[in-house]
Amino acid sequence: MNESITQYKCSICNQLLAPNEGGAINGVWFCDDHLKNQNNLSDIQKTEPKYNYPIQTVGIKDLKFPIYISEKNGGKQHTVADIEVYVSLDGDTKGTHMSRLAIGVQKFSEYQLHKDLMINIAEYIKNKCESRRCQIIYKFPYFISKIAPVSKEPGMIHCDVVFDLISEVDEYLFTVTVTTTTTSLCPCSKEISNNGAHNQRSKVKLSGSVSNGFVLWIEDLVKIAEDCSSCEIYSVLKRPDEKYVTEKAYENPNFVEDMVRSIYDKMIKLPLVDFDIQVANEESIHTHQAFARMKRNKEDVVNYK
């Protein structure tokens, strides 16, 4: 009689297994050698460290995931995020179980990303890791529809967004950072030149922190940046639009200093805990950037990165 016999291989060393050799865990086969000690794995992380200093920030970064978030107009937008997750670690424990941080992100990956979801992920992870503190950061490109100013041709630009949630025992701080691109035209160049004026891309980076119910929309930060520049940027511009943006920038010249001051004047009116304004003009007449920064924080002290 012909009996078909399934023969297994060790998934580690590829060795063929004799009928009574080895064994399987969750359907994965191992030879005797690679099977041994499988049920008896030490937990080195739980042991005593050599130096028992507490660590405030330990975790993982550069974990990439697809996400989706709500647009201000009610739409839903799919994008991809680079994620960082950190916890605090007490002085008497050698290591964090890093897999629990990745599992925390994975578990909530089907849900729409917003501040409250991040608070929930942080609670889950603080609980799993027995930590007092958890910080979660999502960095992602965000897309905004832009209709060309005269031809009304549809287009799309992107900005770079960071959602940063710090969850402590009884409080949290949520910070939204948006880096977007606008046009700036130099007032000095315009004033002293017979014709023309040099102009360039400005990278405007705006951060605002809240610890309450105020919602700071990405779209609103982009709007502030655009309103304080010489002209907005578009992805599609037909000739009447190109005329428009050229003339508009020429009529609205702005130094990098003018831009941060105008933005400061708008940000100071929002109910924010802290905020930070950075503008870098990629000068078309130099290889270097012109840069200005204004910060306001709780302690009313300006720190430098």
Binding positions for its own copies, 241-300, rule CB under 8 A:
242-251, 255-258, 260-262, 264-265, 280, 282-295
**Residue 295 burial (10 A CB sphere; 0-12, 13-18, 19+):** middle
State yes or no: residue 198 binds its own copies (CB under 8 A): yes
Q: Give whichever of 17 and 102 is closer to its own copies, judged by the CB atom.
A: 102
* Nearest one of 159, 146, 194, 9 to 69, comparing CA atoms: 159
**C-beta closer to its own copies: residue 179 or 216:** 179
Give residues 110-139 in contact with its own copies (rule: CB under 8 A): 135
Q: Give the footprint of its own copies on residues 152-171 (CB under 8 A).
A: 152-158, 166
DSSP string, 92-143: T-S---HHHHHHHHHHTTTSPBSHHHHHHHHHHHHHHHT-S-EEEEEEEEEE
Retrieve residue 96's tokens.
């964090």
Stretch that binds its own copies, among 1-9, 110-118, 208-216, 235-243 (CB under 8 A): 235-243
Taking CB under 8 A as the binding criterion, the range among 94-102, 111-119, 124-132, 218-226 that sits at the site for its own copies is: 94-102
Tokens representing 83 are: 């994620």
The footprint of its own copies on this chain (CB under 8 A) covers a number of residues equal to 131
Dihedral, CA atoms, 208, 214, 218, 219, nearest 10 degrees? -120
Q: Which two tokens stand for residue 188?
A: 């000095």
Q: Does 219 bind its own copies (CB under 8 A)?
A: no
Among residue numbers 12 through 51, which ones bind its own copies (CB under 8 A)? Answer: 12-14, 25-26, 28, 33-34, 36-38, 41-45, 49-51
Q: Does 231 bind its own copies (CB under 8 A)?
A: yes
- What's the min distance (Å) between Cβ of 4 and its own copies? 26
Among 17, 55, 119, 270, binds its own copies (CB under 8 A): 55
> Rg for the chain (alpha carbons), in Å?
27
